[in-house]
Each structure stands twice: as structure tokens, then as C-alpha cells.
Structure 1
Amino acid sequence: MPRFSVIVPVHNVQGYLHACLDSVLGQSYRDLEVIAVDDRSPDGCGAILDDYAARDERVRVLHLEENVGLGRARNAGMPHAAGDFLLFLDSDDTLTPGALRALADRLDETGDPDVLVFDYARTYWWGGTRRNVLAHVLAEAAGSTFTAAERPEILDLLMVVWNKVYRRDFVEREGFSFPPGYYEDTPWTFPVLLSAERIATLDRICLYYRQRRQGNILSTTSRKHFDVHEQYARVFRFVDARPALAHWRPFLHAKMGEHCLDILSKPDRLPPSDRAEFFRRTAEMFHAHRPPGARVPADLRVLEGSYAGYVLRRRATRTGRELQRRARQARAATAARAVRARSLPRRPLDPHLAVYSAFSHRGMLGDPAAVYRAARELAPHIRGVWVVADEERAAGLPPGTPYVLPGTPEYRRVTERATYFVNNVNWAGTLVKRPGSVHVHTHHGTPLKYAGADLLDKPGARLHFDVPQMLRRADRWDHSLVANRHSELVWERAFPCHFTSLRSGSPRNDVLVRGDEERARATRERLGIPEGDTVVLYAPTRRDYRRDGLVERIDLARFAADLGEGRTLVVRLHPTLADGPARGLGLSELHRRGVLVDATDEPEVQDVLLAADVLVTDYSSVMFDYALLDRPVVVHADDWDAFRASRGAYLDVTAEPPGHVTRSYRELAWLFASGAWADEESDRLRAAFRERFCEYDDGRAAERVVRAVMLGEPLPEPAGDPGLVPAQTAGRDLLTPS
């Protein structure tokens, strides 16, 4: 008996069917069967299914004699299912890699609940990916099992069948089946969730929900959308037959009204001649099923009136939105005039005022933070003010730190009068550089991939970059901080602007050169890393040959297991991937289960680097920072040619690496199993890398910037090679300057 029976109804999807089936049959978890139901498809789907069945014994194909529709095709597959759990997969959608393994683990963890609800992401025909906006509901319910009454927010999720797995004996016992017609998921999902005694959730994206440019049946203009009324009538009949569920009637009454009004609001759903009839039938049903004494939400009261009133309300809403749009345009024009008026400000610069920002106003971070701290010690007469995006970011600043919010009068006053500006990204184009002001650009680190004007030759990498605008903003730089001659040459080529390269080193990396043992130990404790474990940090970068930047190069669960006892895998995603679907594709769930540690939210990457014993990366500039610790680095370069072709690289990191290079997962696993990751060859490669790229970092970079820029002293020469030597502590090697 397999663990999963995956039921796939198939009709007119020959262009997507291979991807769907491959996503199931290619899963690392193989205890499954596929029951594919050919719903009398007029294209080549039947032959495709037969070909898969001939090649894989786990596939069984049912050819229906007539087209019965999506719901009844699922019904046809259910009697043939032998698995413990049913999963209904639409034939144009796909499972994500590792999805079935994650589902099986969660089912084991929760003791085989009646229903397991998992997460999904919409994938668009133009290449975009967007995670379910209510993913937090799954995360908040990630503890033990529950009922819908205990967590009613579970019913706010999209009412579809394919984001859940169902225990087969529960489905058979309750006699659940799909009705014919459109919106067939509604009279399945509500009864299932209301009846389930044990529901569990999995906060992981297990399915890609394809958003087709054309062909989505629910986006077809048709009278079949009237089916929604009978589908909700089935839900009400189900509740009426079970007195214990009577308290759900107000909730379902409101859901029905919201759903029907949503259909009516879509211009591509109903023929114009049928819209008044649809409203009338919705209003009649809304009145007929209204529970006695139930309060009607304000946005549904339109159903108590006429269709003409509904139309007037819709027009008023559109008019209000247009007025709001015009008001925003007027405010923007006023702001632009104010900017032009401030282009020749009259108030003198304040020689004792500096403004700082980092990572688009995210907080006191990175190089600007290191310069700020050094300035407070060496130049206390210069007041430092931080620009932060909002009050939430401001709450994360040290107590008493002066700050302003963008666009406020305080921001305008501070940026108008400040003499010093320190940032690791460009200031907004509205900030006018005054004569006498000094702009310090710290960058993010040593450049490996193309930047600035060099992106003009890489059209794919320019998708989110306006290079001319970028260079206009860089024209405000006075000083560009560099940590080595390589960076100096690259920045002067990539940003052909009038600035001076300051051979300062990277201020944020002073702490790495000094080897702060207490800070490293505190980070390990905060992340829950067992004392004495070897910490393997995996820090991948984004890819420009994918629109969302995410390319899953490694099966993280497998890598964590292959590392073995005494080793903890810590993962830190690139900042641009932190808020996208990347973490929902398994990282968050693996972190919750203790398989690995997700350190993406750690504010300072230097803390994570200090806590790590070895770095595994691909083409992230973090390798240049980590080299300062003189600890092993492994470069996993299995898509180096694609990366270099799409983004461009200033050096061949596979020819001049900081450590061993692997080009497949097998090589990577062997490197750690054999211990070669820390052998003499690794030491030799790292020494050559450090000699070239750690040139100006000696632990005094922040001091050097403050003395040269704010105090006007001659630029102190870097001390050269930081000369780090190992010191034994806390069951592993930490590094301190000699």
C-alpha cells in the first residue's frame, strides 16, 4: 500500500502534462502511485499518459468514455486509490522538489491527521512567482493538530482541493465526493474541513499553481459561473443535515456573498446580459440562507438592495479610486516642485552633521554602521542621524539613536544641511548634493559579478536596473571605499564618475579581522547551535537567468543529513530572496524541525560568519569577507557557465578560488565525508586568495574612514596582511590577530 495516491484529472493540457507528471515521478520520495484520469481529452494527453504508464509501474491510466468535467474525473480516480493519503493534482500544476518527502515527514510528525494543509505559490506565464499571501496562517498553526472551530482562520485560505492531502479512510468514511459543474471545490473543501477532527498544516510551498495566460476555465466568460449558487446550496444542505455544524451558518453565509460578488466584479466572467440575473439570484440566495439575527457585514449590504444600486456603488468606488490617483499625482508634483526649489538651498551646511543609511534604510547595518560607531568614538563632535524606512525599523536601533523617516520634514531638514553622507547603496534621486557636502559610498563588498555600466552588455541582468539613473546617482560620490586593488579597478570601470577611491578596507569587516570570540559564541547560542558542533554555513547568491532569482542548487535536507553527527548546517539566503518564495520551499520547515538553522534574518552577516567553521557558497561576495577569518571555503559552482553568461563576472572564481571547487552535489558530499574540505590544498588556495583580496583589511578600516573623511587627517596606510593565527576555544578554531 503506497503512502500517497496522486489523482490527476487530465483534459486538453498536453503542453503542460509532461511537467506535471515529471514533478511527481521525479520526487525523491517514491512511495506513491499516480492515478491519471483521461477525461476524454481531445488532444494528445491520452497517448502521453499511456507512454508514462508503460515506463513507470507507479502510473495507472483511466480513459473515460465521455468528458465528465474536473470534479467527476476526480471521483472516477478515487475508487482505484490504494494509498494512505489522497492528493489531487491539477494537470497543469506541478509539485515542488522534495514536496512529498516534506508531506510524509509532517504526516508522521502529526500522527496521520484527517487533513494536512500545505502552502503553494502562483507561477505566472511571464515568469513571476508569488507565494500565497496567507502563508502566515499555516506557520501560526504549525504546532499540534486542531479542528476548524479551534482555528477558523484555516477557512480563510483559498478554498481549493489541491493544497491539501486527505486521509483516504476519512474520505471514504464520510462519503465525500465532487459534484459536477464549476466551483466544484467549494462543496468538497468546506464539508471536509468542518468535519475533520484533526487538521495539520505544513508551512512549505509544495505546489506551483500555474497562472495560464489563457485557458483557465474560471476565467472563461460563460453562464456556467451560475453553478456557484448550487455549489453553495450543497454546502448549506450538508450543514443542515448535521446540527452540530449549525454555528457555521453565519460564516458560510458571508463567504457565499463574498464569493459571488467577487465573481460579479470580474469583467471576464459573465456575459453583460447575464450580470443582472446573476446579482438577483445571488441576492435571493443571500436572503434565503441568512441566519436569524445574523449581522450583515457592511461590504455585503449591497446584496440587500437592487442591481442598479450595486452598479451605482461600483461606479462610485471607481470614481473614488480615480480621485485618489489624481491626488497622489498632485502630491508627487508638489514634492517635485519642492525638490526643485531646494536645489539652491539658502541655509549653510552643518559641519558637525552626518547622515547614514544602509540597505535602502533597513537600519544600522553593514559598513555605514561601522563608520558611525567609529565616528562616535573618534569624532564625537559630529552628530550622526540615521535614515530608516519606518518606525518598525527605528525600533531596532540602539536606544537614543537619532533617526528620521524618508519624506518627512525632519528628513528634508537633515539632508539639506548635513555635510557627510554615508551609504552602501545610492541615495534617492530626489536628494540634491550641495557644494561642500561629502558623500561616502561603502559598497556591499568586493565585486565578483558585473555592476554599474558593465551591465549594459548583460541585458538579462539589467531587468531591475536603470543603469543611466544609477550612474547619475553615483555622480554624487566623493569617496568609494575599497578593500583591495581589484575592487578599486572594478569600481572605477563600472562607475565612470568623479570620485576618489579610498584604500580603507571594509569597515564592517574590522570585527572579522579582530576575531571577536564572545560575539561568535553569542551568535551560536542565539541560533541554537549545539556546543562543539562544526558549523557549515551555506550562503548562495541569486541568479539573473531566473526572473525571481531563485535556483535550488542543493537539496538542503539531504546535505544536512549527509554532513552527519556533530555538524550543523546553517543557511543564509541572499537578502533579495529573503522575502520571496525561497524560504517557503522548504527552508522554513526544515528550520522548524531542527534539520538545519535558517540564519537569513540575522541582521549582521558578520555575526553569522564569525559563528561558522566553514563556508559553502557559489558566487556570493561573502567569500571575500569570510576569507579574512582564514577558515575553509568551498565554492559550489555547478552552474558557473550559466551564471557568468547571464550576469558576467570580473574573475573566474573556479580558476582562482578561495578553496576547493565542486561541480556536482556528489563532489560536495564527498568533500565533507572525506575531510578534504580542510586539507592542505584548501589552505594553499585560501592563502593565495587572501593575499590578493584581503589587501587593505587590517581591522582599522572604520577608523581610517573617519580620520580621512571627517577629521581631515592624511589617510593612514593599511598594515597589509592581517596575519591571522588560530586560537583554540569553545571546541573549535576561532581566529584572532597576531
Structure 2
Amino acid sequence: MPRFSVIVPAYQVQAYLHECLESVLSQSYDDLELIAVDDGSPDACGAVIDEFAARDPRVRAVHLPENTGLGRARNTGMERATGDYLVFLDGDDTLTPDALLAIADRLKETGDPDVLVYDYARTYWSGEAVRNRAAAELTERGPAPFRLADRPGLLNLLMVAWNKAYRREFVEHAGFSFPPGYYEDTPWTYPVLMAAESVATLDRVCVHYRQRRDGGILRTTSERHFDVFDQYDRVFAYLDEHPGLAHWRPVLFRRMVDHLVTVYARRDRLPRGTRAAFLRRARAHYRRHRAPGASVPARARVHHTLVRFGLHRTYRVLRLASALHRRAAGAAGGLLRALRSAALLLHYRVQRLLPLRADRAVFTARADGGHGGGPGALEAAFRAVAPHIRTAWVTRPEHPGHPHAVPPGPRTAAYWTALARSTYLVSDTGFDPRLVKRKGQVLVRTQPGTPLGHTGLDLLGRPAAARDTDFARLLEDVDRWDYVVSANLHSTLTWERAYPGRYTTLEYGQPRTDPLHTATAADVAGAREALGIPEGAVAILYAPVHRDHHRAQRTRRPLLDLERVVRRLGPRFVVLARTRHPLGAPLANASGRVVDVTGHPSVASLCLASDVLVTDCSPLVFDYAGLDRPIVLCADAREAYEAARGAYVDLRAFPPGAVVDGEDELIDVFATGHWRGAHSARRRAAFRARFCPYDDGRVAERVVRRVVFGETCLPPVVPLHERRPAPSAAAAFEGPPPLATVPQQSGGPSAVTDRV
């Protein structure tokens, strides 16, 4: 019998569930069982739970056939619990480090009370953690345990189930369970506290209560918020069944009125047109449950008057007056902005009054992406699958030559016309912050590959990587997204956490990898010829990741001595160096076999032209793996990168091929042929299965069919074993290619063989 049964219900929290479950299993106090209940969640919650259950015997996975609601999911967990104490945790929240140890110690100190109440902190996307404002009620001073009558101030705490530990025998003997519907914690928490013979407190934050930007139940507009009335009926019915608790009626009545006013006043809870009906129900509940002689605090009299008499129109007048004041202030600010932007912004506003053009799509890409990447692949798919839609590019000055380009920058009328009138907006970067997304416009975001280093909100607390990122503006941009294209489950979970919003995730694959699967041997030959790669040569694409901690260094030398590498490997090898900064004339011209492709506009062409990728921790490794060509991981400098930016995936623990440390081992890997050996191929196959499940050359087509035509029966994904990506020019070579010199380093090839 474990000390704790931690019950975690999960429904549509796939982006946060890993962190939640990990916070439980990583506790320093490990005498626990974790009961994770998949409440019929349509996302990957069930798979995440099964993953944890497979790796840790303390995890018990429960899958419900359909969604039953938070309360009933918790009941299911309680039915399977065997621990001394029940601890509830929502799937998007986390336990703080050593929380269970502190709870266990306090339970022991206070003689195993029926209920232990501990504290929580609200955590926001900015990383800020704000402790509960009523934390003073949790003081450990004075006798313990006690009854609620000795510390009635505990009723001022947020009435939730997850800030308490409950003795299981007490809960089962009293027959407590959660009811269905919203606000299910209300008829659980009040009766539990009133019925407990012994209560104790722990003055410590044990739970981080995530304040999601959207997606939480209490931030969902729904008529189900009317459930609050049924929940308070259950509370007062419990009082009627237990006459000895009648003295609590005035307190609970005041709490009920405060709660009803909160639900009524929040703009994001009740649907439009239902507030008057809600207030009528509130008035009926006020009269039904009012305790005779109950005093009303002076500060709450306005609220009580509002509910008692159902003054819906009065409330609307007060809110309208406040809204008019805000609009007047906003109009003044808008006038100042209009004076700055003058004619072009006026033009944009006029264009926004005109109908949207359903046959227009506008594209933009990152400064270093030219007209390619995800937006480029989607434009090609638009022109192939939906030819009735005319496409245009918002170009940058360095990439002006696209045949369908809109003149660059916000200083032209064509630019603002395209943003105002196009139905489809596609980008892998932010549009102009002054863009006003119109009703009917569809914004598709193609993220820049599979995430390896931390991104979005996960960069909070990492100033070297975040630099001058405006996180508030970033979230404003996220709020405009309708669709986010995701390459795989790992990407989906990361994007939804790092860029939280109401968009729909299209886990269809990476559109920019389509050319790698549709290209032919002739395309590969053409790409190699354009780069001047000799026939029969092995082309190594060297693409180290940009390091934020090297930003101030501005070095022109790559991490490897590329001239030494090609000199030791011999004349059959050529290096295509794609570094952050140009290599410089002296190095680039030293032998003619190190080609500087840093400024090349098409990464896809470089991948097609090469035969093997050498990188450290560049996200390009995920795209290249789809080509099923060898990859060598040069991991000697990864620690500094991960310290500055952090990493979601430890490539060294789950490599896509051979792993080396430094130049000498890299040369050995190529000299011995291990770079394309069977062991490296097996690693690459496992890596492809995990990170390239949908990249079969038709990703962009699926996205366009879903976004433009609303199709849900999309072309099936070609299985990995049936895919035929563009062939490598070196694929026909048998065995290690002949070398001018075969270097032997200290320790011999066996040192490398052990690693690869």
C-alpha cells in the first residue's frame, strides 16, 4: 500500500501532460502510485499516459471510452486508488519539487489528519509565479490537527480539490465523490472540510497552477457555466442532510453569492444573450438558500443587491459606460497612429472595407528563407491543387526576384492591399504587427522545422537565446493563427506549449521536405552541377547550428578546420559549408574542395546535392533524415549550445547516425566507412520513424486540401518502407571510397567504432 495515490485526469492537455506526470514521478518522496486517467481525450493524452506507464511501474493507466468530465474521471481514479492519502492534480498543473516529501512530513507531524491543506501558486506564460493571496490562512502556528470551526478562514481559499491531501479511509467512509458538470470541486470541497474530524495545514507551495491563455474550462464560453447552480444545490442539500452543520449556512450563502457574481461578470464565460437568464437563476438561488439574519459585509452589498433583485439592465448600463470610456481612449490613440502612417494606413483601412478575394493567397518567409521553406512548398501546392487561387509573395529586399512578388515593405499600396484583401495568409514568420485579421481570412503558420532548441515561451529565462524577443507581441501574433503545420507528435506537443493559442494543429508533416521526396536523379545531378561538385565525389554538407552564445564573437571560421578535413580524406571528398558567417576568401579558395554555400537561397537544393550531413545540433537534421541519407553527429560543442538555449531532444542519446567528438574522430568515421555502415543505418531508421512519420512528398498537398477545401479524407501517408526519396549520388558506391590518405589516430578506429 503506497503512501499517496496521485490521481491525474487528462483531457486535451497533451502539450502539458508530460511535465505534469514528470513532476510526480521525479518527486524525492517516491512511495506513491500515479493513476493517470485518459478521459476519452481526442488528442495524444492517452499515448502520453501509456508511454509513462511502460517506463515506470508506479503508473497505472486508465482509458475511458468516452469523455465523462473531470469529476467522474477523478471518481474512476479513486475507485482504483490503494494509497493512504488521495492527492489530485490536473493534467496541466505540476507538483513543485519535494512537495510530497513536505506533505508526508507534515502528515506525520499532525497525526495523519483527515485532510491536509497546502498552498499553490499561479504560474503564467511569462514565467511569473504568484502565490495564493490567502496564504496567511495556512499558517502552521497553533494546535494541529483541528476542525474547520477552529479555523473557518480556510473557506476563504480557492475551493478546489487539488490543494489538499485526503485520507482515503475518511473519504470512502463518508461516501464522498465528485458530481458531473462544471464547478465539480464546489460540492466536494465544502462538505469534505465540514465533515473532517481533523484538519491540518502546510504553509508551503506544493502545486503550480498553470494559467493557460485559453483552453481551460473556466475560460471557455459555454452554457455549461449554468452548472454552478446545481453544484450549490448539492452543497445546501448536504447541509440539510446533516443538521449539525446548519451553522455553516450563512458562510456558504455569502460564498455562493460571490461565486455567482464572478461567473456572471466574467466576459469569457457566459454566451451572448444568456446573462439575463443567468441572473434570474441567481436571484432564485438567492431567495432559496438565503440564511435568515445572515449579515452581508459592506464591500459585498452591491453584489448582493445585484443578485437579490436581478438587476441585469443596471449592470449593462454600468458596463456600457465603461466600454464607451475605453473606446474613446482607444480612438484617441488610433488617431495618433493614423497621423503617423497617414495615407497608406488610410488606404489599408479602405481596402479592409472591400470584400475579401477568395481567389487570393499571400505568402511570406523568413529573411534567410527566400521563396522556399514551408511557405514555398505550400505555394507550389496551391498552384497545383487549387489553381483558381492566385498567389503572391510579400518579398524582402534581398529576395526581390520572385515572379509573383508584391513590392517589398510596408511603404507600398500593393503590400497593404494584399494583406487586406487576400483570404489566405501563409508564413513561417510574423506578418506586419499592424495586420488586422479580418473575419474570413485564414492564416496558416508553417513553423521552421522540427523544434530542437527551445523556442517561443520556453525561451523565458534564457536571455542569451531570447535576446530582444517581445513575448507579448509574439502571443498577439499567435492569436491570429488559424492553422499550425506540425511535422510530428513531438512538434505538436512543443508548439502547443511554446505557442499557446486557439489554432488548429495540422500534424501532417513538414511541407518544406516535399522536394526531397519528389526530386529525381536528374534533379540531384542538376543541383550538384550548379554547385560545381565533381562527378563521383562524395559531397559532405557541413551545417552547424547557429549558437546564440557566439553572437558577439562574429568569427569567420567554422567550428571544424574544413581544409584539414578534406586534405586528410583525399580528393574524392568535397565539403559544402553552410555556416552562419561566410568562410572568407583565403579559406574558401585554398583547395577548391571547400565550397562556401552560406548564402545559398535553397537549403533543399543543398540537401539534394550532398551525400551526407555533418552537423552538431542543427534542426536541419530532422529534414535530412527524411532523405534516408547518412548523418554524422559532431557533438563536441553541444554542451555550450544547450546551456544557452536548451534542447528538447538529446541527439546524443537518440542519434540519427554515427556520433563523433571532434575533428579526428570525424575523419576516422569517413576513413573507415562507418559513416554509412549498418549500425548508422539502423539508428537513422529509428530516427526517421520517430520524427519523419508523414514526410512522403505530399505534405503540402494535404495541408492545402484541408485548409482550402475542408477535406478530412486526405491522401494516405506512404509507409516509411515504401518511400523512395531522391537518390544520393553516392548511393551506388560499394564500400568505403578510395582515399588519398587513411589517417590513424591515437587509439585506432576502435575508439570510433565503439561510439558509432
TM-score by length of 2: 0.49
Distance 1:336 1:500, change over 3 A: farther
Q: Displacement of 1:542 after TM fit?
A: 0.8
User: What residue in structure 1 maps to residue 471 of structure 2?
Assistant: 467
Q: Alignment RMSD, CA only? A: 2.7
Residue type of the partner of 1:455?
A: L
Distance in 1, matches of 2:451 and 2:553, equals 18
Q: Is the 8 Å Cα contact of residues 375 and 382 (structure 1) preserved in structure 2?
A: yes
Distance in 2, matches of 1:671 and 1:665, equals 10
Distance 1:731 1:463, change over 3 A: closer
User: What residue in structure 1 maps to residue 406 of structure 2?
Assistant: 403
Secondary structure, in 3 states, of the residue corresponding to 1:497? coil
Superposed CA deviations along residues 643-684 of structure 1, whole A, max 9, x for unmatched, are 111101111111011011112222212111221111111011
User: What residue in structure 2 maps to residue 535 of structure 1?
Assistant: 539
Distance 1:498 1:516, change over 3 A: same
Distance 1:365 1:728, change over 3 A: closer
Given the alignment of the two structures, is residue 625 of structure 1 paired with residue 630 of structure 2, yes or no?
Answer: no
Residue type of the partner of 1:349?
A: L
Distance in 2, matches of 1:619 and 1:730, equals 25
Q: Is the 8 Å Cα contact of residues 613 and 733 (structure 1) preserved in structure 2?
A: no
Find the partner of 1:334 among 334, 340, 351: 340
Q: Displacement of 1:514 after TM fit?
A: 3.0
Distance in 2, matches of 1:549 and 1:480, equals 35
Find the partner of 1:564 among 566, 570, 594: 570
Distance in 1, matches of 2:540 and 2:596, equals 12
Secondary structure, in 3 states, of the residue corresponding to 1:532? coil
Distance in 2, matches of 1:539 and 1:631, equals 15
Q: Percent identity among equivalent residues?
A: 42
Distance 1:465 1:562, change over 3 A: farther
Secondary structure, in 3 states, of the residue corresponding to 1:481? strand
User: What residue in structure 2 maps to residue 366 of structure 1?
Assistant: 373
User: What residue in structure 1 maps to residue 636 of structure 2?
Assistant: 638
Q: Displacement of 1:340 after TM fit?
A: 8.7
Q: Displacement of 1:355 after TM fit?
A: 0.5
Q: Is the 8 Å Cα contact of residues 560 and 568 (structure 1) preserved in structure 2?
A: yes
Given the alignment of the two structures, is residue 555 of structure 1 paired with residue 561 of structure 2, yes or no?
Answer: yes
Distance in 1, matches of 2:687 and 2:451, equals 14
Distance in 2, matches of 1:708 and 1:354, equals 15
Distance in 2, matches of 1:486 and 1:679, equals 28
Distance 1:361 1:434, change over 3 A: farther
Q: Displacement of 1:403 after TM fit?
A: 2.5
Find the partner of 1:706 among 704, 711, 714: 704
Given the alignment of the two structures, is residue 434 of structure 1 paired with residue 438 of structure 2, yes or no?
Answer: yes
Distance in 2, matches of 1:733 and 1:444, equals 32
Q: Displacement of 1:346 after TM fit?
A: 1.7
Distance in 2, matches of 1:543 and 1:730, equals 31
Mapping of residues 15-414 of structure 1, within 5 Å: 333-335=339-341, 339=345, 345-360=352-367, 363-390=370-397, 393-394=399-400, 396-398=401-403, 401-407=404-410, 408-414=412-418
Residue type of the partner of 1:465?
A: T
Distance 1:645 1:381, change over 3 A: same
Secondary structure, in 3 states, of the residue corresponding to 2:454? coil
Q: Displacement of 1:477 after TM fit?
A: 0.8
TM-score by length of 1: 0.50
User: What residue in structure 2 maps to residue 130 of structure 1?
Assistant: none
Superposed CA deviations along residues 544-574 of structure 1, whole A, max 9, x for unmatched, are 122347674211211121221211111112x
Count of aligned pairs: 394
Q: Displacement of 1:723 after TM fit?
A: 3.1
Q: Displacement of 1:331 after TM fit?
A: 9.5
Q: Which moved more, 1:532-541 or 1:364-373?
A: 364-373
Distance 1:476 1:591, change over 3 A: farther
Secondary structure, in 3 states, of the residue corresponding to 1:629? coil
Distance 1:725 1:365, change over 3 A: closer
Superposed CA deviations along residues 440-460 of structure 1, whole A, max 9, x for unmatched, are 011111110000000003122
Superposed CA deviations along residues 349-404 of structure 1, whole A, max 9, x for unmatched, are 111111111114964211111111111121111111111123x632x224xx2523
Q: Is the 8 Å Cα contact of residues 449 and 623 (structure 2) preserved in structure 1?
A: yes
Distance in 1, matches of 2:368 and 2:727, equals 38
Superposed CA deviations along residues 42-89 of structure 1, whole A, max 9, x for unmatched, are xxxxxxxxxxxxxxxxxxxxxxxxxxxxxxxxxxxxxxxxxxxxxxxx
Given the alignment of the two structures, is residue 583 of structure 1 paired with residue 582 of structure 2, yes or no?
Answer: yes
Distance 1:593 1:380, change over 3 A: same
Q: Is the 8 Å Cα contact of residues 385 and 404 (structure 1) preserved in structure 2?
A: no
Given the alignment of the two structures, is residue 505 of structure 1 paired with residue 505 of structure 2, yes or no?
Answer: no
Distance in 2, matches of 1:686 and 1:362, equals 27
Distance in 1, matches of 2:445 and 2:493, equals 15
Residue type of the partner of 1:397?
A: H
Distance in 1, matches of 2:506 and 2:451, equals 16
User: What residue in structure 2 maps to residue 670 of structure 1?
Assistant: 668
Secondary structure, in 3 states, of the residue corresponding to 1:389? coil
The unaligned stretches of length 5 or more in structure 2 are: 1-335, 734-756
Secondary structure, in 3 states, of the residue corresponding to 1:554? coil
Q: Is the 8 Å Cα contact of residues 635 and 652 (structure 2) preserved in structure 1?
A: yes
